[in-house]
Structures are given as structure tokens and as C-alpha cells.
Amino acid sequence: MKVKLVKCSIAAPPSRLPGLDRAVNPYRGCAHSCSYCYAQDVTRSETSSIWGSFVDVKVNVVQRLKKELERCAKGVYGVGTVTDPYQPLEEKHELTRGCLSLLNRFGAKASVLTKSDLVLRDIDLLAEMEAVEIGLSVSCANDRIAGIVEPGAPPPSARFDALSALADAGVDAYLMAAPVIPGVSDSRQSLTALIEAAAVAGVVRVVWDSWNPKPIASNRLKKALNDADMRLGSSTEESTFRVRSELSELCGQKGMHLEDAF
């Protein structure tokens, strides 16, 4: 892992994602090594390097964010739009916690997306925030399969435990059921396991995003699957409709609300 300490010129640039006004990414790169991650395609960051082999730590992001919030704290701040804000280095640097503390102090809304149970370290802060939501991303409830496509991330079972703990603490937490990978996690059996695990964790809201592959990420994913003697399936309008319909049915059976990400 190549780790660099860097300084950013802006902490919360405008976000292009619907529902988010600004994006806060305390790190560039991610140690979770998710083979399907679109970050390199979007940011063009070190495209010649292996995804998961480098992380830049924005050591001044908290100080920069404070200055920006002093000027204007309006809108929704997406925390972790092209990196995981709770990847392993966060345990040492606590940049995400510092940013969330500031957003809480200035009364700004935070929308956090992660696939790490490290989020529970900050459950005290999250429980006192009036305007925060936490999304735990899980593409497949099977720990073994998840280990193939996202080898550096905590297993899904740990993420469901985190969802349960957040719910018990009264934190607004939801399951991000994404990405549902064709041929890997889009079967009826896989979707059923995903929603049943969410129900056990006390989830009441599931957000779903349709499969939207990017070139660099697709090549990484195909290699990871091929190395495990697995194959990426094809995605069509019909298969996307089926996945959406089955998720809606399964969520309805468990009394959960399903919504589209975008």
C-alpha cells in the first residue's frame, strides 16, 4: 500500500450526484479494493496503478472544511462519494470524524456512504447529530463471494451487524443494495438472502442502484471473477426490471421501503 499525506485546496466541492450539494472525500483512493468501484473511471486518479494499492490522506481536509462552512453551510454534504470514508486509515487519522463533527456543529446535513463497520466507532457522534443518514453498502450477503469482489472490505455480515447497532442507537441508517452484479449477486436466491439479512438487522429503508459498469472497473471485475472461476453476466433492460421488481416484492414482504438511488 502506497500512502501519501497530501493537502487539498477545497474540502467540499460541488457534487454532481442527485440529492447531494457538496462532496466530502477525506481520502483519495481506497484500501477496500472493490473490483467494481467506479472511482478511477470518474476521477482518472492513478489509472496506471492497481486500485486498492494507493491512498492519499488529505491531512488538511478538516481545517479546509471549517473555513468553507464558515462561509456557507447550506445543503447536503455527501461524505464518501468516490472513496470510503471509513476505510482502514480512518482509524488512525480520524478525518471523517473530524468532518462530521464540523457538519454537526454548523448544522449541515450529512449523507454518509460506507461499507465498513468502523462507522460504529463514531456512533456517539452520529446519535447526537440531527441531520445525518448512514448508508451501508452491500452488494451480496454471502461473505465468500464478497471477499472475491471486494477483498479489502469488512464482510457483509459485519456490515449488517453495524446496521443493527445503528438502528438500535436511533441513527437513520439504510441498506445500499448495490451493486447488484449480473451473474454474481442478481439471482432470486441472492436477493432474498440480502433482504432477509437486512430485515434481521432492523433495516426499514433499502436504496437500490441499477448496474452501471465503467470501463476500468469492468476490466478489474472481470479479472477478479475469472481468477475465481466465475463469470460476469449480461445486463439488459429486462434483467434490470426483474431485479428491481424482485427487490420491491421482497422488501414489501418485510415491511421495508425500496427507493431508487438516482
User: Do 225 and 148 form a contact (C-beta atoms < 8 A)?
Assistant: yes
Supply the pLDDT for residue 48: 84
Burial (0-12, 13-18, 19+ Cβ within 10 Å), 61:
buried
Supply the pLDDT for residue 45: 78
21: closest CA among 83, 79, 62, 60?
Answer: 79
Q: What is the mean pLDDT of each run of 10 residues along the chain (262 residues)?
A: 97 95 97 96 86 96 98 95 98 98 97 98 97 97 97 98 97 97 97 98 96 93 96 94 98 97 83
Supply the pLDDT for residue 46: 81
User: Do 149 and 224 form a contact (C-beta atoms < 8 A)?
Assistant: yes
Domains of the chain, first to last: 2-260 (3.20.20.70)
Supply the pLDDT for residue 61: 98
Supply the pLDDT for residue 44: 86
The H or E element that residue 101 is part of is helix 95-105
Q: For every residue of 143-183, which 3-state class applies, written as one string?
A: HHHHHHHCCCCCCHHHHHHHHHHHHHCCCCEEEEECCCCCC
61 residue type, one letter: V
Query: How would you classify residue 255: left for phi > 0, otherwise alpha for psi between -120 and 50, otherwise beta?
Result: left
User: Do 12 and 81 form a contact (C-beta atoms < 8 A)?
Assistant: no
pTM of the model: 0.95
Around Cβ 162, how many Cβ atoms within 10 Å?
Answer: 24
Rounded Cα distance between 64 and 47, Å, is 27
Around Cβ 92, how many Cβ atoms within 10 Å?
Answer: 8
Q: CB-based contacts of 119: which residues, under 8 Å, 6+ apart?
A: 86, 112, 126, 134, 136, 162, 166
User: Whose grid coordinates read 479479472?
Assistant: 223
Supply the pLDDT for residue 115: 97
